[in-house]
Amino acid sequence: MFYRRYTPPPPLSAFVDCMWYSEGFEGTHQRERLLPNGESGIVFDLREEQPVRNPVRIFNPQNDARFETFAPAIFCGARTDCFVIETSQQERVIGIQFRPGGAFPFLSMPASEVANATYSLDDIWPGQAASIRDALMNACDFRAMFSILERALLARLRNASPLHPAIAFAIARLARPSQSGENVRVGDIADRVGFSSRRFMELFRQQTGLAPKSFQRVRRFQRVLQTLRAESVENWADVAYRCGYYDQPHFIHDFRMFSGLTPGEYVAVATPHLNHVPLT
């Protein structure tokens, strides 16, 4: 498997966590569950075959008979739920992973309108997906592809609505790892930025796609995944406390809600890709 990751320079680095390219999927499983992280992303299918004949399929994790099809590129809104993809359709793909709230300046609508769902990129950037894909298909290598994506993003950023400084502050505070087993209160952040709770929650949803508390919960879940990658766990209660849960049942409940698995089940099947869980 060939995989490359690239972080663009400013000004895009304020909004984009990374761009990535993957070719030649290796593995025996046919499907993967993608876990939520509260961020938006764009993926281009670069298989040589016409994508309209074999489009990307996104499956419902509770019922694999239900799915949606997309070609030639998809936009994934910020999510708090998981979904399922086919590994065969990852043969050659390139994507943009936005930072929390980072997709908002590149949208022509509130981020809340595209949250917890997947769309054809043409629905988000009308008339652009096919032309960008054509340019990617004709690029000489992955570096040229990253440059194409940079130019596409910079062109949209010129007329973009900026992320409100209060929301940028709130994102950083809500996503910050807890050092005391306690979580930042949403009401305290609203007071800190000088907004009423109602106005703060409304603006936060418009620009990140999620309610502040939902965002905080899914980012806390991501801290758990990072902890499980970094260390061998002997005490689940300690992990729960360090990641901001008030007790172990609360931790297990949230983990199962976001992933469909217990923490132990996740560890048993974990891959180098934090949010990709193989399905048999």
- Global confidence as pTM: 0.93
Domain ranges of the chain: 2-157, 165-270
Task: Tell me which long-range contacts 23-28 makes (C-beta under 8 A, separation of at least 24).
Answer: 23/91, 23/92, 23/93, 24/91, 24/92, 25/1, 25/87, 25/88, 25/90, 25/91, 26/1, 27/87, 27/278
In DSSP terms, 94 is beta-bridged to 21, 44
What's the distance, CA 64 to chain centroid? 21
Report residue 263 CA to chain centroid gap.
Answer: 20
**Which pLDDT score, from 0 to 100, does residue 60 have?**
87
> 203-249, pLDDT tens digit by residue?
999 999 999 999 999 999 999 999 999 998 889 999 998 888 988 99
Q: Which residues contact 11 (CB under 8 A, 6 or more apart)?
A: 154, 157
pLDDT of residue 151: 98
The pLDDT value given to residue 29: 85
Alpha-carbon span 114 to 77, nearest angstrom: 5
- pLDDT given at position 217: 95
Integer Cα distance of 111 and 133 in angstroms: 24
Instruction: State the architecture of 165-270 in CATH terms.
Output: Orthogonal Bundle (1.10)
Q: How far apart are CA 280 and CA 278, in angstroms?
A: 7
Low-confidence ranges of the chain (pLDDT < 70): 50-53, 177-182
Query: Under DSSP, is residue 233 helix (H, G, I), strand (E, B) or coil?
Result: coil
CA 268 remoteness from chain centre: 23
The confidence score (pLDDT) of residue 210 equals 98
Q: Which of 193, 137, 136, 188 is nearest to 163 (CA)?
A: 193
